[in-house]
Chain A
Amino acid sequence: MKAKVVVMPKVAVLDPQGAAVREAMQHLGMREVKNVRIGKYLEIDLERDGADVEARLHKLCRDLLSNPVIEDYQLVKE
């Protein structure tokens, strides 16, 4: 099975990379761009599924894959 995790900076946290990319997109003619935020995407292959796998993945999302002080995450299992 596969788990997909998206980690995004919280709205209150400055995202200067996103701002730089927004400006570059506008500079290249994409005037419609209002805002860009840059996060991380992780694909995780798992050998097998189990009753507690999802709960353990959520724990690792909070402890390791994201920092709850500055980031939010979404976990999707496939």
Chain B
Amino acid sequence: MKFAIIQFPGSNCDQDCLRAINGLDGLSAEYVWHKATSLAGFDAIVLPGGFAYGDYLRCGAIARFSPIMNEVVRAAKEGRLVLGTCNGFQVLCEAGLLPGALVRNRGLRFVCDMVRLRIEVPDSAFTHRCPQGTILRMPIAHGEGCYFADGNTLRELNANGQVVMRYCDGTGATSPESNPNGSIENIAGICNREGNVFGLMPHPDRACDARLGSADGARIFLSMAETILAERAKAAA
């Protein structure tokens, strides 16, 4: 199963993603430069963290116009799995593949920390085997991770089960204290209406080895693999 990792000028979690994915049984990852014009042969696409184009103008604002993004949009519309972590989430929002936007952290500080995330949907293509209420631990590292959406968008996200995870405390409560960046309703990750595009500010790529503090991030990649296998089985039947 092949994952594409898109490299923009300024991406800096591409190696983390490659290593994390290649370390999982049955999964392999390859870099795809942002000027490439094909994603043929890839089962899933990952937009990694970093500072694409130096975050100039707005995070993700220029990266969304990279040539490869036409193919990412096409793949998303075809139903292929697209994951955006951190800066990748910002790019997906700028590209209009996910609703809302990410703005400067409420506290103005770059936050680098381990956070807890409560899974909000019983099953998603990216969170199989994580029942609703599951708490995952993953690191965050961002200055502009405060999720914003207007009232209507927020209502739709909630009504359609698109809020995949929220920042929470040890008991699973989504308190203001457990919100690291001021995100509206403690939102940490959302998916599109169809459920095949997922963006989150935390780093599953940096949480794939218990020796480094958490292996919960691996569950995201393994879940994607499981979804792809299920799709293949469905197509073959």
Measured between beta carbons, the chain B residues less than 8 angstroms from A65 are 57
Could you tell me if A70 and B57 are in contact, using CB atoms closer than 8 angstroms? no
**B73: Cβ under 8 A from any A Cβ:** no
Could you tell me if A70 and B108 are in contact, using CB atoms closer than 8 angstroms? no
Tell me the complex Cα distance, A51–B94, Å: 29
**B74: Cβ under 8 A from any A Cβ:** no
Measured between beta carbons, the chain B residues less than 8 angstroms from A12 are 150
Give B153 Cβ to nearest chain A Cβ, in Å. 8
**A17: Cβ under 8 A from any B Cβ:** yes
Could you tell me if B107 and A64 are in contact, using CB atoms closer than 8 angstroms? no
**B106: Cβ under 8 A from any A Cβ:** yes
Minimum CB distance partner of B105 in chain A: A16
Could you tell me if B101 and A17 are in contact, using CB atoms closer than 8 angstroms? no
Which of B62, B94, B99, B103 gathers the greatest number of chain A CB atoms within 10 Å? B103
Could you tell me if B101 and A64 are in contact, using CB atoms closer than 8 angstroms? no
Could you tell me if B103 and A17 are in contact, using CB atoms closer than 8 angstroms? no
1/0 contact string of B95-107 vs chain A (CB within 8 Å): 0000111011111
Measured between beta carbons, the chain A residues less than 8 angstroms from B115 are none
**B33: Cβ under 8 A from any A Cβ:** no
Could you tell me if A67 and B146 are in contact, using CB atoms closer than 8 angstroms? no
**B145: Cβ under 8 A from any A Cβ:** no
Could you tell me if A69 and B104 are in contact, using CB atoms closer than 8 angstroms? no
Measured between beta carbons, the chain B residues less than 8 angstroms from A9 are 103
Cβ-defined partner of A67 (8 Å) among B61, B62, B108: B61
Could you tell me if B150 and A69 are in contact, using CB atoms closer than 8 angstroms? yes
Cβ-defined partner of B103 (8 Å) among A14, A40, A64: A14
Measured between beta carbons, the chain B residues less than 8 angstroms from A20 are 108
Measured between beta carbons, the chain B residues less than 8 angstroms from A67 are 58, 61, 94, 101
- A16 and B104 in contact (CB under 8 A), knowing A64-B61, A65-B57? yes
Minimum CB distance partner of B93 in chain A: A69
Measured between beta carbons, the chain A residues less than 8 angstroms from B57 are 40, 64-65
Give A2 Cβ to nearest chain B Cβ, in Å. 19
10 contacts between A and B (CB under 8 A): A9-B103, A14-B146, A14-B182, A16-B107, A16-B182, A64-B61, A64-B62, A67-B94, A70-B101, A70-B103
